Amino acid sequence: MKITHADGTVTEAIGYVNLGTHIAPRAKLAMILPDLGRFERWLSVAQRIDRFMTAHDGAIPSEFKVMSIADRRAVAATLSELGELQRQAGEECRAELARRDRMAHG
């Protein structure tokens, strides 16, 4: 599967992306994210900012404050998408555990 990014570049959707809480296939992410290239480019920054904010009661790190508006938007979009992907993964895990529990208890 090929991915056409917002900037017009095309790459192969092979391999996996580490989302911190789980690993997701790039091909799956390419189908659900509006811009996989941007997501991958800003993922490590978004994760670092999320860790800082979690550890500091929601405080915004200075790293974010000095970014350009375009970079802030990219990080914010990536944070939002990452949160949604993690929420969906949690729901899938809960559904699978419930299915296994039903099967075990007949």
Check residue 16 and give its pLDDT.
85
Mean pLDDT for each 10-residue chunk of the chain (106 residues)?
67 78 87 93 95 95 95 97 91 90 87
Check residue 35 and give its pLDDT.
93
Any bridge partners for residue 3, and if so which?
Answer: 11
Query: What one-character-per-residue DSSP string does 82-105 give?
Result: HHHHHHHHHHHHHHHHHHHHHHHT
d(C-alpha 25, C-alpha 97), whole Å: 21
d(C-alpha 27, C-alpha 102), whole Å: 31
Check residue 2 and give its pLDDT.
64
Task: Output Rg (C-alpha) for the chain, integer angstroms.
Answer: 17
User: Are the beta carbons of 78 and 43 closer than 8 angstroms?
Assistant: yes
